[in-house]
Amino acid sequence: MTAREPERELVRRVLPFVPPLAVVAFVGGALVSNAGAGWSASLAILVVAANFAASGLSLAWAAGISPVAIFAVGLGGFGLRIAVFAALLFALQTFTWFSPVAFAAAFVPATVVLLGFELRYMASRKVQADLWYFREQA
């Protein structure tokens, strides 16, 4: 990783925490309700992590192209990830084991904690714009 790719660095720093947090979410959901709630809570952690990785890696790719690419990938990627998330929720509701309450109970705090970590990490960088690299156009 280079200092010019803060998005990739951030994804690299976050991903090792995902498996232990998924296990904690499973145990918490299973203890509070049942195994289905545990699986739902674990799945929520994995969805948050996948969303974060998709966002970070796609923005890192776009940062190597141009500011317009960053905007397009950021806005378009957000819309695409929201659509995928909504489709996933509709699909999961067809399973009897899925618990929307346990999913939301894990999804919301995981998202808030992840955003806080991302904000703290990126704010600790010297100058954000200095970390982006744009290839020169011919």
Per run of 10 residues, the mean pLDDT along the chain (length 138 residues) is 70 92 94 93 95 90 88 89 90 92 93 89 65 62
Q: What is the pLDDT, as a whole number, of residue 7?
A: 83
Domain that holds residue 99: 6-122
* 137, part of any domain: no
* 129, part of any domain: no
Q: How far apart are the first and last CA of the chain?
A: 26
Closest CA to 99 of 33, 18, 19, 27: 33
Q: How many CA atoms lie within 13 A of 91 on its CB side?
A: 6
- Count of domains for the chain: 1
* 80, part of any domain: yes
- Please identify which residue in the block is written with the tokens 């969805």: 47
* 134, part of any domain: no
* 131, part of any domain: no
Coil, helix or strand at residue 115: helix
CB burial of residue 124 (10 Å; 0-12, 13-18, 19+): exposed
d(CA 93, CA 99): 8
Model pTM score: 0.80
* 132, part of any domain: no
